[in-house]
Amino acid sequence: MSKGKLEKFEELTAFPNSLELTDFQDARSQKPKGRWHSDIFENENPIVLELACGKGTYTLELARRNPDKNFVGVDIKGDRIWKGAKQALEEGLNNVRFLRIYIDHLDEYFAPDEVDDIWITFPDPYPRYSDRNNRLSGPKFLKIYQRVLKEEGAIYFKTDSDELFSFTRESVAKSGCKVHRIVENIYQECPNDELLTIQTHYEARYLQEGRSISFIKFSLPSEEISWELD
């Protein structure tokens, strides 16, 4: 019999590779901000985040391929994180952690320049106009990333949503970001790219439905982003 959400939540809080730090935590609990190298991973290897990581498929695969880097999967849904955290423990992946928080609180858990790169894979596109401020590539979130990401760090963004991809390109341009690479259809333009063709559960389903998968890699400007959504 499969485990229910409550059972997964309970197990997750006991996993040594997960940090259960939602906004409902004990206010006296010490957050890991500024301590990821010294206390959490206990090494000085680069730290890479996957935001809205879901079950952690990308986080795990990146960690397998890059044992000299540390990876943190971030999501608010504990029952999904449970799967990735459990898999990492079973495989003995010591360079993986999972953090259960709301992403718009990211700068409360990471110090300035503590993060080397950020991956965002298939986030909620929030198609309704009124929800645009929740899109992870909008100015609200780009400003948060500026507070934790090293100046030379990059953001890797994958989506199956044409609308979100168009929005992201516009947001990146208005924010003064530097674009390093754009791929409008990964499986047509670069089907042998080992990094971009790592598939999440949802990506495999999207491909079966005939959707195209788009990608953009960019870096943030050194000056503070000033524009806002209308």
User: Which positions are annotated as active-site residues?
Assistant: 124
85's CB contacts (< 8 A; 6+ apart) are 12, 15, 17, 18, 56, 96, 98
User: Which residue in the block uniquely carries the two structure tokens 């674009």?
Assistant: 179
User: Which residue in the block uniquely carries the two structure tokens 């959504």?
Assistant: 229
Query: 146, 110 in Cβ contact below 8 A?
Result: no
Q: Bridge partners of 96?
A: 71
Q: How far is CA 31 from CA 6, 36, 64, 178, 220, in A?
A: 24, 10, 27, 32, 25
Is 18 in a helix, a strand, or coil?
strand
Q: Is 67 left (phi over 0), alpha (psi -120 to 50) or beta?
A: alpha
Number of Cβ within 10 Å of residue 178's Cβ equals 11
DSSP string computed for 121-138: ES-----SGGGGGG-TTS
Tokens representing residue 148 in the block: 């934790």
